[in-house]
Structure 1
Amino acid sequence: MLSPTTSRPAAPALRANRDFRLLFAGSAVSVLGDQFTLVALPWLVLRLTGSAATLGLVLAAMALPRAILMLVGGALVDRMSARRVLLLARSINAVLVALLAGLALTGGVSMPVVYAIALGIGVATAFAYPAGSALLPQVVVPAQLSSANALFMGMRQLSMFIGPALAGLAIGMHAGQAAAEARRLGLAFAIDAASFLVSLGSLWLIRGAAQGQSRPRMNGVLTDVAAGLHQVWTDLPLRAFMLYAAVVTAFVGGPIQVGLPVLANSRLDLGAASLGLLMTANGGGMLVGGFLSRVVARAANGRLGVLVLCMDTLAGLALAALARVHSTSHGALLLAGVGVLAGIAQIAIVSWIQQRVPAAMMGRTMSLLMFTFMGIGPVSAALAGSLLKLISLGTLFAGAGLGLSAIALGCLASPALRAIGSARADGAGLNA
Structure 2
Amino acid sequence: MPSSPGASPLAQRDFRLLFGGSGISAIGDQFTLVALPWLVLKLTGSPAALGLVLATMALPRAAFMLIGGAVVDRLSPRRVLLAARAVNALLVSLLAALVLGGAIHMGLVYALALGIGLATAFAYPAGSAMLPQLVAPAQLRAANALFMAMRQLSMLVGPALAGLLISVGAHGRHGNVADATGLGLAFAVDALSFVCSLVSLVLIRIHGDHHPRTPEGGVLANVVAGIRAAWADLPLRAFVLYAAVVSVFVGGPIQVGLPMLADTRLDLGAASLGILMTANGGGMLVGSMLSGLAAKLVRNRLGLMVLGIDSLAGLALAALAFDHSTLAGAALLATTGVLGGIVQVTIVSWIQHRVALEMMGRTMSLLMFTFMGLGPLSAAIAGSLLKVVSLPALFAGAGLMLTAIALTCMASPALRSIGMSSRAPAAAG
Q: TM-score, normalised by structure 1?
A: 0.84
Q: Which residue does 2:146 correspond to in 1?
A: 151
Q: Which residue does 1:3 correspond to in 2?
A: none
The residue identity in structure 2 corresponding to 1:71 is L
Contact 1:245 1:372 survives alignment (8 Å): yes
Residues 237-274 of structure 1: per-residue CA shift (max 9 Å, x gap): 11010011111112222332344445556666666655
Separation (CA, whole Å) in 2 of partners of 1:87 and 1:160: 23
The residue identity in structure 1 corresponding to 2:132 is P
Q: Which residue does 1:61 correspond to in 2?
A: 56
Q: Which residue does 1:294 correspond to in 2?
A: 292
Q: Which residue does 2:80 correspond to in 1?
A: 85
Query: Which of 201-210 and 216-225 deviates more?
Result: 201-210
Separation (CA, whole Å) in 2 of partners of 1:140 and 1:66: 28
Separation (CA, whole Å) in 2 of partners of 1:142 and 1:158: 25
The residue identity in structure 2 corresponding to 1:336 is A
Separation (CA, whole Å) in 1 of partners of 2:72 and 2:11: 26
CA shift, 1:332, in A, is 2.6
Residues 286-318 of structure 1: per-residue CA shift (max 9 Å, x gap): 111112111112211322112111211222232
The residue identity in structure 2 corresponding to 1:65 is P
The residue identity in structure 1 corresponding to 2:336 is V
The answer as to 2:353 corresponding to 1:355 is yes
Q: Which residue does 1:281 correspond to in 2?
A: 279
Ranked by relative contact order (alpha carbons within 8 Å, sequence separation 6 or more), the top structure is 1
Q: Which residue does 1:27 correspond to in 2?
A: 22
Separation (CA, whole Å) in 1 of partners of 2:348 and 2:310: 17
Q: 1:10 aligns with which of 2, 7, 12?
A: 7
Contact 2:233 2:424 survives alignment (8 Å): no
SS at match of 1:126: helix
The residue identity in structure 1 corresponding to 2:303 is G
Q: 2:112 aligns with which of 97, 100, 117?
A: 117
CA shift, 1:216, in A, is 3.4
Residues 68-88 of structure 1: per-residue CA shift (max 9 Å, x gap): 211111111111111111111
Separation (CA, whole Å) in 2 of partners of 1:338 and 1:206: 36
Query: Which of 409-418 and 396-405 deviates more?
Result: 396-405
Separation (CA, whole Å) in 2 of partners of 1:360 and 1:316: 36
Separation (CA, whole Å) in 1 of partners of 2:96 and 2:321: 34
Q: Which residue does 2:249 correspond to in 1?
A: 251
Separation (CA, whole Å) in 1 of partners of 2:264 and 2:16: 43
Q: Which residue does 2:365 correspond to in 1?
A: 367
The residue identity in structure 2 corresponding to 1:417 is L
**Residues 1:384 and 1:287: Cα distance change in structure 2 (over 3 Å):** same
Q: 2:425 aligns with which of 417, 423, 428?
A: 428
Contact 2:169 2:183 survives alignment (8 Å): no
Contact 2:356 2:426 survives alignment (8 Å): no
Separation (CA, whole Å) in 2 of partners of 1:77 and 1:341: 31
The residue identity in structure 2 corresponding to 1:70 is M
Q: Which residue does 1:408 correspond to in 2?
A: 406
Contact 2:353 2:420 survives alignment (8 Å): no
**Residues 1:149 and 1:239: Cα distance change in structure 2 (over 3 Å):** same
Contact 1:33 1:191 survives alignment (8 Å): yes
Contact 1:268 1:327 survives alignment (8 Å): yes
Query: Which of 186-195 and 293-302 deviates more?
Result: 186-195
Contact 1:57 1:382 survives alignment (8 Å): no
CA shift, 1:333, in A, is 2.3
Ranges in structure 1 where 5+ consecutive residues have no aligned partner: 1-5
The residue identity in structure 1 corresponding to 2:72 is V
Residues paired across the two proteins, number: 420
CA shift, 1:148, in A, is 1.9
Q: Which residue does 2:334 correspond to in 1?
A: 336
Separation (CA, whole Å) in 2 of partners of 1:143 and 1:312: 25
CA shift, 1:231, in A, is 1.1
Q: Which residue does 1:131 correspond to in 2?
A: 126
Q: Which residue does 2:65 correspond to in 1?
A: 70
The residue identity in structure 2 corresponding to 1:397 is F
**Residues 1:17 and 1:31: Cα distance change in structure 2 (over 3 Å):** same
Query: Which of 80-89 and 269-278 deviates more?
Result: 269-278
**Residues 1:46 and 1:68: Cα distance change in structure 2 (over 3 Å):** same
Q: CA RMSD in A?
A: 3.4
The residue identity in structure 1 corresponding to 2:29 is D
CA shift, 1:99, in A, is 4.1
Separation (CA, whole Å) in 1 of partners of 2:266 and 2:169: 16
**Residues 1:174 and 1:183: Cα distance change in structure 2 (over 3 Å):** closer
CA shift, 1:212, in A, is 5.0
Ranges in structure 2 where 5+ consecutive residues have no aligned partner: none
Contact 1:86 1:131 survives alignment (8 Å): yes
The residue identity in structure 2 corresponding to 1:22 is L
Q: 1:316 aligns with which of 291, 310, 314?
A: 314
Residues 14-45 of structure 1: per-residue CA shift (max 9 Å, x gap): 33422111111001111122233344445666
Separation (CA, whole Å) in 2 of partners of 1:100 and 1:402: 44
The answer as to 2:221 corresponding to 1:223 is yes
Contact 1:314 1:405 survives alignment (8 Å): yes
The residue identity in structure 1 corresponding to 2:115 is G
Contact 1:252 1:401 survives alignment (8 Å): yes
CA shift, 1:345, in A, is 1.3
Contact 2:257 2:391 survives alignment (8 Å): yes
Separation (CA, whole Å) in 2 of partners of 1:265 and 1:168: 21
SS at match of 2:152: helix
Separation (CA, whole Å) in 1 of partners of 2:179 and 2:382: 27
Separation (CA, whole Å) in 1 of partners of 2:158 and 2:75: 33
- Alignment of structure 1 residues 262-281 onto 2, 5 Å: 262-264=260-262, 274-281=272-279
The residue identity in structure 2 corresponding to 1:428 is P
- Percentage identity across paired residues of the two chains: 67
